[in-house]
Amino acid sequence: MNKFKFILLFCIILILSACSHPAAQKQLFAMDTYMNFNVKGKNSQEALNKICDEIFNLDIIFDRNEKSSELNTLNQSKISNVSDELLDIIQQSIDISEQTNGAFDITLAPVLDLWGFYNQNYKVPSDDELKLSLNKIGYKKIYITGNNISLDNTEIDLGGVAKGYAADKTIEILKEYNIESAIISLGGNVYALGNNDGKPWQVGICDPFNTEKNIGIVEVENKAVITSGVYQRNFNYEGKFYHHIIDPKTGLNPNNNISSVTVIGSNSTECDALSTAFMVMGIDESAKFLINRDDLGVIFITNTNDLYVTYNIKNYFITDNTVNFINE
């Protein structure tokens, strides 16, 4: 098991330890990560069976490294008629690109390939290589007419949003089965449905400098808690540290001091995309974005281990560390 997978598994175990007497549990490996589902109530097993089918179905559609996947077909042929799911995730992603001035951009695939993040064959691209690939980046290169999508000299990578989308689909299925209490973790993308025997669910926020520890917990009900961090996929080269979040404007790691961002909100797709976007935007630009978004809670951890937290979560974020509030 590589370090990345071990860290995810550890964080998940911490989360599971918060669950009492689950009616049904399931663990699986999909979308290149470990997923855990803890569901309480009648029909739990039936709901979990349907969830597994749905997750594997989405994995087959979204995996751009799988030759026969729908996304790979679109990337290679540049035009195709896509399923409702692929259309939906691409449309939601473009929406967030527009809101974040392109900090989140699913057309980053050509640059991600240069860095080797898709197959862990890491390398630092040359300036010339980056320049060529940056010409292929831009969410405005995606054209949509009905279910028909065409790509103008670009390719799509859904790594920054696929797990959040799968979490939303999971919650939809749980609601179809009238499940009122569950906690799910898709590679650290958590959703807490309802409550845990009358108490809020407790979700650990990983310490990016010691991923076997939590830096705090949030107490939540009916919320997604989604983290992007530099510790999730990274490598060192000639004494420098590189990680898997890329600024679409430069093709490089963002030039800021953020180690992880957790976004808490009701929609997992949005929280997943925004956690990646805020890693790129840094605290000041994200704070401006958040002025009109009191429905979102955000925890930034800097690379000096300082905490910057939106004021609206002060009553349910519990930590021993000093907290600096933003948008107070």
Chain residues that interact with ligand ADP, rule: CB under 6 A: 104-106, 108, 112, 117, 157, 159-160, 187, 228, 232-233, 244-246, 248, 272, 275-276, 280
Angle at which helices 44-62 and 84-99 cross, to 10°? 70
For ligand ADP, the closer CB: 202 or 260: 260
Q: Give min distance, CB of 286 to ligand ADP, in A.
A: 13
Interacting partner of 244 out of ligand ADP, Mg ion, none (Cβ under 5 to 8 A depending on kind)? ligand ADP
- Cβ contacts of 16 within 8 Å, gap of 6 or more: 25, 36, 38, 183, 185
Q: Based on CB atoms, which residue is closest to Mg ion, 200 or 229? A: 229
DSSP assignment of 60-81 equals HHH-TTSTTSHHHHHHHHSEEE
Min. distance of Cβ 246 from ligand ADP in angstroms? 4
**100 or 181, CB closer to Mg ion?**
100
Q: What residues from 222 to 241 belong to the interface with Mg ion (CB under 5 A)?
A: 228
Query: Given the complex with Mg ion, which of 48 and 246 has the nearer CB atom?
Result: 246
Instruction: Give least dist CB 176 to ligand ADP, A.
Output: 26
Alpha carbons 173 and 48: distance in angstroms, whole number = 9
CA distances from 212 to 10, 64, 135, 280, 305 (A): 7, 31, 40, 25, 15
Q: Which is nearer to ligand ADP, 170 or 276 (CB)?
A: 276
Rounded to a whole number of angstroms, the minimum distance from the CB of residue 265 to ligand ADP is 14
Rounded to whole angstroms, how far apart are CA atoms 285 and 266? 22
For position 247 contacting Mg ion by CB under 5 A, the verdict is: no
Tokens of 198: 């009358």
**Cβ at position 279, least distance to Mg ion in Å:** 8
Among candidates 186, 223, 170, 180, which has minimal Cα distance to 201? Answer: 223
Q: Is 21 left (phi over 0), alpha (psi -120 to 50) or beta?
A: left
Nearer to ligand ADP, 22 or 265 (CB): 265
Instruction: Report the distance separating Cα 250 and Cα 158, nearest Å.
Output: 19
Q: Which of residues 155-194 bind Mg ion (CB under 5 A)?
A: 160
State the binding string over 304-323 for Mg ion (x if CB under 5 A, else -): --------------------
Q: How many residues does the chain have?
A: 328
> Contact between 276 and Mg ion (CB under 5 A)?
yes
Cα–Cα distance, 182 to 202 (Å, whole number): 12
| Interface residues toward Mg ion, by CB under 5 A | 160, 228, 272, 275-276
